[in-house]
Amino acid sequence: MHKHPMTIGQLIRSPAMRLLFLITLLIIAIALYLTWDMKASLAFTLKYRSKKLATLLIVGTAVAISTVLFQTLTENKILTPGIMGFDSLYVLVQGLLVLTLGVSGFNSFNPYVKWVAETSLMIACTALLYRMFFRQSSQSLQFLLLAGIVLGILFSSASGLVFRLLDPTEFSVLQDSLFASFSMVDPTMLAISIVVIATLVFYIWRKHAILDVMLLGRHCATNLGVNLNRMTKELLVIVAILVSVSTALVGPITFFGLLVAHLAYRLAATYQHKFLLPSAALLGMLVLV
């Protein structure tokens, strides 16, 4: 059979060309971000802004990829990893630190220990939920999500109690720490986050064909040879790590993943994850920058 050559319109609307368009926009945005309204020399400006730029790029990638993976796993395009209570747990941890250490102790607390503790705690909660609620039955994932919702409500209620125990000065310090901040990131923690997130993104991209099959539903995917129990476990762990690392690095970013994921669905106009995942990552970086 002969393949008809693509017309110009088909070529422009192809997923590959749309990816190229996003890459071009991102390059332009990065160039503008690094050079716009410079008040000092180019070398100093690039050095000052490059760390914040790297943070924007890596967090945008992590949040976008984790949301697309979570929606593929749950077969639901209105859910985000936030339903598992990650943001609520982060807020609770910050409140408990301020309550127990005080303002001076919280401000002088070792940032490396704090980052490792927050990341480990969020990943450990997901692992514990998986062991408690996930089995090989088809409804186990729904039980896991319900448990995540309940824990999220519990963490939010506990955070509200902690807030009421703080004096106004402590509460103002806590409130500052609950907003996402891209300018006060430690270079060592940023480097570790980049390595972890880049490794996970590369690993999951190699599984893009399996993710496409999972969109057909549990029964079809199983009949086509996908080990759903193993893939579900892998995806949950990867999503937990991506969300935990990015949240512990800069703080919670509410609804950002949902926005970027749906923009990627519209712009990529394909179900194939080899285009969806890069599109979501590029859009996440582009919107933040």
Q: Please name each of the domains of the chain with its CATH number.
A: 50-288 (1.10.3470.10)
Average confidence score pLDDT of the chain: 84
pLDDT value of position 128? 79
**Separation CA 177–CA 239 (nearest Å):** 23
| Prediction pTM value | 0.85
214: nearest Cα among 233, 227, 200, 202? 227
**Tokens matching residue 210:** 């399996």
Distance from the Cα of residue 226 to its chain's centroid: 25
**Separation CA 61–CA 286 (nearest Å):** 10
What confidence tens digit (pLDDT) does each residue in 15-62 have? 788 899 999 999 999 999 988 887 777 777 888 888 899 999 999 999
What confidence tens digit (pLDDT) does each residue in 188-201 have? 888 999 999 999 99
**Separation CA 147–CA 85 (nearest Å):** 9
Most distant pair of Cα atoms in the chain: their distance: 76
Q: What is the DSSP string of 131-188?
A: HHH--SSTTHHHHHHHHHHHHHHHHHHHHHHHHHHS-HHHHHHHHHHTS--SSS--HH
